[in-house]
Chain A
Amino acid sequence: MTLHYDIDGENFQTAGEASANVKKVLRQLGISTDIIRRVAIAMYEGEINMVIHANGGVADVAITPDRIEMTLEDSGNGIPDIALAMQEGYSTAPENVHELGFGAGMGLPNMKKYTDEMKIESTVGVGTKVFMAVNLK
């Protein structure tokens, strides 16, 4: 099963709708709550990142008998130093999102923490593609 979402970059208030939908679908499929939680958090963090840093993007989710794969792609500014961005506490989020409780520099670390595989490809000025997978077995 594959799912596709357009992530609206303008609206911080609706950020999380794609993740919420994925969570709902996984629940309907009878996936365990622990797996759902890991997928939902990783996906939500990715979705929020695209809203904060890239003015939105697209998300594709593939559900196979073996694992759940998430691919998030945007046309934002890109990440100059991925290793630095992966460090807990490092953030380039603007001040206005701090007031909402975001920008703590824990988004990418959380995505790595809750997934079994994570790959980031990014080109400055072109965009970023994040692939994440959570194994079901």
Chain B
Amino acid sequence: MTTAELCARLSLEPLCLAEPDRPVTGGYAGDLLSWVMGRAQSGDAWVTIMTNRNVVAVASMADVACIVLAEGVEPDADTLEAAQKQGVNLLRGESGAFALCAAIAAALAE
């Protein structure tokens, strides 16, 4: 499943869809950035409520497929700008992290 397909399937808001065809192969949830870099896998959809621009750098270094902001949180203005500049997929959902992860897992299981 591509990031664009996941975005449409879960009715997420594509704040920055820099790489729409990037395959999503798994998921990870967490807000402590070093935990994410230590445990998330390349190709994961990363669910978080962190909104500062460091999440874009972490997503880029950890090579996740996309960031999924939970709870409808608003990214800092420079976060969106960083995502566009660094070509990182940034999506947003209204649900909490648990519901988003469940939906991502269900979509990937099909």
Which A residues have a C-beta under 8 Å from some C-beta of B?
12-13, 15-16, 19-20, 23, 33-34, 36-37, 40-41, 44-45, 100-102, 104-107, 109-110, 113
Taking the complex as formed, is B37 at the interface, i.e. its CB lies under 8 A from any CB of chain A?
yes
Verify B57–A104 contact, CB threshold 8 A: no
Q: Mostly helix, strand, loop or mixed at chain B's interface?
A: helix
- Given A13-B78, A20-B86, A37-B42, the answer on whether A101 and B50 have CB atoms closer than 8 Å is yes
- Tell me whether B63 and A45 are in contact (CB under 8 A): no
CB nearest neighbor in A for B30: A101
Given contacts A100-B52, A102-B54, contact A37 B62 (CB under 8 A): yes
A interface SS class: helix
Q: Which chain A residues border B95 with CB–CB below 8 Å?
A: none
From 21 to 67 in chain B, residues with beta carbon under 8 angstroms from any chain A beta carbon are 31-35, 37-38, 42, 50, 52-55, 57-58, 60-63
Among A12, A15, A40, chain B packs the most CB atoms within 10 A around the CB of A40
Contact at B60–A104, with CB atoms within 8 Å? no
B: residues with CB less than 8 A from A are: 31-35, 37-38, 42, 50, 52-55, 57-58, 60-63, 78, 86
A residues in contact with B32, CB < 8 Å: 101, 104, 106
Pick the contact of A16: B31, B57, B63 (CB < 8 A): B57
Bound: A16/B57 CA distance, A: 6
**Chain A nearest CB, measured from B80 CB (Å):** 14
Contact A33 B42 (CB under 8 A): yes
Question: In the complex, which residues of chain B have a beta carbon less than 8 angstroms from the beta carbon of A104?
Answer: 32-35
Known interface pairs A15-B54, A106-B38, A109-B38; A33-B63 also in contact (CB < 8 Å): yes
